[in-house]
Structure 1
Amino acid sequence: MTTRTRSALPLSALLSLATAVFITCLTEILPAGLLPAMSRDLGVGESAMGQSVTVFAIGTAVTAIPLTTATAGWPRKRLLLVSMAGFCVANTVTALSGDYPLTMVARFVAGVAAGLAWALLAGYARRLAPAGLEGRAIAVAMSGIPVALSIGVPAGTYLGKAADWRIAFLVMSGLTVLLLGWITLAVPERPGEEPGLSGDGSTQGVGREEGAGREDGAGREDGAAAPLLGALRVPGVVPVLFVTSAYVLAHTILYTYISTFLDRVGLGGRTDLVLLAFGVASLLSVWTVGARIHRALRALTLGGVLLIGTAAFLLGVGAHQPVLVYVAAVLWGLGWGGAPSLLQTAVGEAGGEHADAAQVLLVTLWNVATAAGGLVGGLLLDLLGTHALPWTVLVLLAPAFAATFAARTHGFPAAMGTSREVAPQG
């Protein structure tokens, strides 16, 4: 059964998408491991440098819906290549810039590229997968996230200590050039959407990029907001979006300033190792989620929230004890690594025939929460100090756990397919 499943998935194409996810994710979060060095070189405080994550997320949040609408008719491969080229340019400018405003402009451009990428990557993976394997295809594509966490950020942090943080961004630019060739050779083309049409006429195996096209078609006929409002009225969508917002906000508040947090508790020299522990655990998490997501979506989501909450508690009470910090990093990674696959799958299942618009809403709220996390974390850092960060995470995760637990019928059912089957009744 395992061999047949693997052979049925177009692994070369999916792995190239996973690499695109890797670059997208790493571009966003790499400053978290390089914050002290970047702030010194650019002559700003660490909370100000943390806004490089905020402005990236703002670029994604404010452009994801309008850009995916405007490019709905574009062939999907062309759009993916354009977004990856955007990362190459933005990361090169970031590496070469000695000016804080110019760096922030480059980060905003990178966020715009991410808006295009996130709006089509999960859906592209779904469309490349055989029926019934869409969840695993998304898990393969989204594995780029824990790989970025487990390899990319620790490696970038090490380069920042051993040589220069700029080299990390230049290495990403070079990797992106190689990826452009891989996508060109390995990823099958998929057409954009024609106005008023819905792709192949099926809602099965459809992800964000296809949904953006259908939303565009529906928007031209019924108003751009109609598909989004329709998705919000489907039972289960709002709980998933709420959990996503709280989950991502809590994570980003701590992760953006983790190097500063560790530095101020005397563990700054071990940042790369702590991030490595976090990343390896994240990789294990995404494998576990990929294997069990169709049977245990609810349990995995609840478990993820509890794991991150436990990690935050340990960092709050034992940040000066290296062993507890490493344990917290592992628990945090186990709770976070599978979160993108869990939340994207949950909103797609809950949305039913409105899954496309629900995915666009999730992309937007994810990045709004990321932007807010960088901003709120910076304010907490300046006003209360690093000790406030893990306790804030706990406060945010409590309602996320409660909302997940309450959404047992719609949003986070025990078994996949339950929410979609009952959604039309609402």
Structure 2
Amino acid sequence: MTTSQETLTAPSPRGVDDRKLPMSPLLALATAAFMGILTEALPAGVLPEMARDLSVSESATGQMLTIYAIATGLSAIPVSVATAGWRRRKLLLVSVLAFAVANLVTAVSSNYALTMVFRLVAGVAAAVVWAELVGYARRLAPPHLVGRAIAITMAGIPLALALGIPVGTFLGKLLGWRLTFGLVTAVSVALIFWILASVPDAPGQEAGKREPILKALRLPGVVAVLFVVAAYVLAHNILYTYIATFLDEYELGGQRDIILLVFGVASMVSIFITGALVDRKLRSLTIGSTALFIVAAGLLWAMADNAVVVYAAMILWGLGWGGVATLLQTAVTDAGGDRGQALLVTTWNSFMAGGGAVGGILLDRLGPTSFPWSVLALLAPVLLVVVGARAHAFPAKRPATG
């Protein structure tokens, strides 16, 4: 059976210095991650304006995020299978081109149905991008710096959340949402040329050497990592999707922008810490990230009526969340190789979409005060699994460096 070691020991592309990280291609990959998140979440920042211009309700406009996440989650495995033989750079370029086309259509379309079709297309493209980024980072990096390369690549996610979406929202109000999507299109086109100039190509898999993606579930550690992904992402999105409603409950809605900025800055700090330590401390970092989120949820449960405590909780939550993408991407690839990545993309996006649905049910039946204890209920078993899965899922020594 093929194992993840084939991925870990693959030689670096020609021209890559084995002593240091090739920053230009890694930053291009980080920009692709940035564009994936920005394309997904930007409608949330300009939702009232989009709803008015498209002559639909705000709830209908909000489904632009839902259809994107569902498309990403459902298409990750079948698209990975269908494109396994493609050259890797060609596949990445086609995906970024799909971002550009989808954002361009969004910028000029006045037809809600047409816009939703291209949001679905962008969601499928995102599935490809998420499945490719870690594999590319591993091929580009020397073995002792693989985790750091993944951290740099995944830095585009918190950067988009902390800066990209707030700036996009500001530009949407200043220049109009259509021009903002036009600017995102222009950045996507520029990224295509950057990838062509700096990201090396790699072959696809030969037909005779491909193994079913679902077969990776039999590899030790994969199921444990995917459970952590599912519960952690669900917990985060229950609270994050309805954070405005939660803050309003405690009369902190007027400070929402500052509170989310604090969360974003803490997330960026987390990604830098993770990047520096993930190659040697993946297990400790994962335990620490989970513990920080648990403490944050406990503070929000017990003392959310105190603004100082809320800010402290947001800092702890951001520190716990920022590096999670890197940690879990690294863990699942150590355990399951490239096939593990496709499973992670499906799990991540499915439970990200599920967070909005579960949070909505909790909001309707129990109110916003139920969010923190729901997070605690989800994260307690996560911590137990991470601590207990020391043999394969979250070992003290990673296969790439042990």
Q: TM-score range by the shorter chain?
A: 0.7 to 0.9
The aligned residue for residue 310 of structure 1 is: 295
The aligned residue for residue 228 of structure 1 is: 214
Q: 1:280 to 1:20 in 2, by over 3 A?
A: same
Give distance in 2, aligned partners of 1:325 and 1:37.
30
Q: CA deviation at 1:33?
A: 4.3
Give distance in 2, aligned partners of 1:116 and 1:181.
19
SS at the partner of 1:415? coil
Q: Does 1:44 align with 2:57?
A: yes
Q: Does 1:388 align with 2:374?
A: no
The aligned residue for residue 231 of structure 2 is: 246
The aligned residue for residue 339 of structure 1 is: 324
Give distance in 1, aligned partners of 2:395 and 2:201.
34
Task: Compare 77-86 and 392-401 and name the one that shifted more.
Answer: 392-401
Q: Which runs of 5+ in 1 are unaligned?
A: 198-216, 219-223, 422-426
Which one of 169, 176, 180 corresponds to residue 157 of structure 1? 169
The aligned residue for residue 372 of structure 1 is: 354
The aligned residue for residue 259 of structure 2 is: 274
SS at the partner of 2:206? coil
1:52-71 pair list within 5 angstroms: 52-71=64-83
SS at the partner of 1:386? coil
Give the letter for the 2:181 counterpart. F
Deviation string 1:298-354 (CA, Å, 9 cap, x unpaired) is 221111112122223333444454433322222111111110111111112223xxx
Task: Compare 382-391 and 160-169 and name the one that shifted more.
Answer: 160-169
Give distance in 1, aligned partners of 2:266 and 2:100.
28
Deviation string 1:206-233 (CA, Å, 9 cap, x unpaired) is xxxxxxxxxxx23xxxxx4xx422x222
CA contact (8 A) 1:135 1:294 kept: yes
CA contact (8 A) 2:362 2:371 kept: yes
Q: 1:383 to 1:108 in 2, by over 3 A?
A: farther
SS at the partner of 1:399? helix
Q: Does 1:348 align with 2:333?
A: yes
Q: Which runs of 5+ in 2 are unaligned?
A: 1-16
Task: Provide TM-score, normalisation by structure 1.
Answer: 0.82
Q: 1:30 to 1:376 in 2, by over 3 A?
A: farther
Percent identity for Structure 1 against Structure 2: 55
Give distance in 1, aligned partners of 2:366 and 2:175.
32
Q: Does 1:27 align with 2:9?
A: no
Q: 1:38 to 1:310 in 2, by over 3 A?
A: farther
The aligned residue for residue 191 of structure 1 is: 203
Give distance in 2, aligned partners of 1:43 and 1:315.
35
* Matched residues, number: 385
Q: CA deviation at 1:397?
A: 1.3
Give distance in 2, aligned partners of 1:246 and 1:364.
14
Give distance in 2, aligned partners of 1:36 and 1:391.
31
Task: Provide TM-score, normalisation by structure 2.
Answer: 0.87
Q: Does 1:414 align with 2:396?
A: yes
Deviation string 1:243-271 (CA, Å, 9 cap, x unpaired) is 01101111122222334444555444443
Give the letter for the 2:394 counterpart. F
SS at the partner of 1:411? coil
Q: 1:53 to 1:239 in 2, by over 3 A?
A: same
Deviation string 1:93-119 (CA, Å, 9 cap, x unpaired) is 334445554443332222111011111
Task: Compare 302-311 and 279-288 and name the one that shifted more.
Answer: 302-311
Q: 1:240 to 1:265 in 2, by over 3 A?
A: same
Task: Compare 263-272 and 358-367 and name the one that shifted more.
Answer: 263-272
Deviation string 1:30-70 (CA, Å, 9 cap, x unpaired) is 34545566556654355x55443322111011211111221
Q: 1:249 to 1:126 in 2, by over 3 A?
A: same
Q: Does 1:93 align with 2:75?
A: no
Q: Does 1:134 align with 2:119?
A: no
Give distance in 2, aligned partners of 1:412 and 1:339.
13
